[in-house]
Amino acid sequence: MDQHALAAGRAFPWHELYVPDVNAALDFYGKCFDMGTQDFPSPMGGEPYKMVTVGGTAVGGAMSTESDMLKAMNIPPHWAVYMSVDDVDARLEKVKANGGTVVVEPMDIPSVGRMALIADPQGAHIWLYKPAEM
């Protein structure tokens, strides 16, 4: 684990909102918590990825549970948490060796980083994330 990230309070650098109507949700969070939005071109094409911003800084993103990619997985509305790790693949081996499971295999998003979704032995999910090297 990146001990500096832990010490600096950056162990959870990204959050992602999954809801049926992204625009309605972002309108709600904007009105209640002064959050903004910013479009990010999708690396897979199609609709842009909606980033959630605070003071102009991206702190998370939002995806529709009605999208082709997520609808088939029957994902309920929720906020997902990303944990900063030093090596996604090495941490996945430790997860599996200690009773956890890989829910979404590791993937690389160009200029963003590498990530994978795990479940701990009790079923709680969290994304492991390592930013792309610039």
Question: From CA 5, how far away is CA 40, in angstroms rounded?
Answer: 25
CB 18 within 8 A of CB 70: yes
Task: Extract long-range pairs of 119-122: CB within 8 Å, 24+ residues apart.
Answer: 120/95
Res 9: pLDDT: 58
Q: b/e per residue, 8-31, with b = 16+ CB within 10 A?
A: eeebebbebbbbeebeebbeebee
Q: Which two tokens stand for residue 102?
A: 């890989």
Res 8: pLDDT: 54
Write down all domains in the chain, each with its CATH number in brackets.
1-83 (3.10.180.10), 85-134 (3.10.180.10)
Tens of each residue's pLDDT in the chain, 134 residues: 455 554 555 788 899 999 999 999 999 999 999 999 999 887 666 778 999 999 998 889 999 999 887 888 888 999 999 999 999 999 999 999 999 999 999 999 988 899 999 999 999 999 999 999 86
**What's the predicted TM-score (pTM) here?**
0.82
Res 1: pLDDT: 45
CB 32 within 8 A of CB 25: no
